[in-house]
Structure 1
């Protein structure tokens, strides 16, 4: 399918928007845990933050793909059903009488883009705020799941609740403590997923966050 000129022009700005949303999501999430995540992030972490968020869970990935597919076809749906009251109220459409074909197409494209941007903004901010709140509550109430054992290069091991990880650091709490530890990946030999008794090397967990 041919992508319209309006959409093609917005693609670079669209990715910039996603990066900004990814940064805000991570900041809101970690701020509630007392972490300034930008101090512990690289440029690569920041650039892939929206991709990491989208791929963090299969349900989220399916939702996001469906969202983009729907909004790709939304302009043609609006052109077809723009006289329906429900559609007019939902998308706050204005009358298009007197619009040329090109103006009508551009208008419906802009409505689709604005709607998609609003949904993504709500998703990222809601994800960050809710995720940080419930993670913090788990730690305060000692309701974490200590599913991992971290093995350090010095031979020491600890059972942990893994909060997050990026290209440089692990963020976690140790069993029996509310204190959040931030450990460089280089200080860790490997990590064991206790439930499945399988060893996962440090960078295996890298796709979970900023």
Structure 2
């Protein structure tokens, strides 16, 4: 059993999850900023801690694409490491730049550098996934509200018995964020004031 690998994973996994939490906060911050809402005021600590998992499972197609791209990048990185002695690697920009800045480095140092390049690319890719999603979906939601192009896929029933079809923007453990049909103002309603939420236009069941 490789105890060094296990020890390294025990160190990296908490750091990796903390990185995802930070990105989740930034993503939600950007998304709700587009709608004029300070989401921190309407979020609990549980929402913050669970946001990475929620975001990664919310858009499965994008998640699969990111995983596929990073896996391909990993395979290419490993292929480079195994063939670091070949001319096509030695003639690359990464190789020339590394040796220009590290005159006394060894071949193993260069292999480690390639591995670090993959890690940096992975972190950048994940950051783009979160922040790009926050910006993109925020702009989309704002434009739909401004141009009255919302799709009212949900029907909510308040605890008073009143019902309304709504464009659901988002939700967490404490609040629902939506726009009622016939309105353009965003409603932020505590979950305790809503008795039932129905998905009345489910595209997966058509």
Gaps of 5+ in 2: none
Distance 1:90 1:134, change over 3 A: farther
Q: How many residues align?
A: 195
Where 1:33 maps in the other structure, the secondary structure is: coil
Q: Map of 1:37-48 to 2, 5 A cutoff?
A: 37-48=39-50
Shift of 1:108: 2.6
**Cα displacement string for residues 99-126 of structure 1 (whole angstroms, at most 9, x for unaligned residues):** 253x345323311111111112222211
Q: Which residue of 2 aligns with 1:59?
A: 61
Q: Which residue of 1 aligns with 2:88?
A: 84
Query: What is the Cα-based RMSD across aligned positions, in Å?
Result: 3.0
Q: TM-score, normalised by structure 1?
A: 0.80
Equivalent position to 1:94, from 78, 94, 98: 98
Q: Which residue of 2 aligns with 1:117?
A: 123
Counterpart Cα distance in 2 of 1:91 and 1:67: 22
Shift of 1:22: 0.9
Counterpart Cα distance in 1 of 2:91 and 2:136: 30
Q: TM-score, normalised by structure 2?
A: 0.81
Equivalent position to 1:132, from 127, 134, 138: 138
**Cα displacement string for residues 19-61 of structure 1 (whole angstroms, at most 9, x for unaligned residues):** 1111101000001101110111111111121211111022023
| Contact 1:144-1:161 at 8 Å conserved across structures | yes
1:148 to 2:186 alignment:
no
Q: Which residue of 1 aligns with 2:166?
A: 160
Q: Map of 1:167-206 to 2, 5 A cutoff?
A: 167-196=173-202
The structure with more radius of gyration: 2
| Contact 2:66-2:125 at 8 Å conserved across structures | no
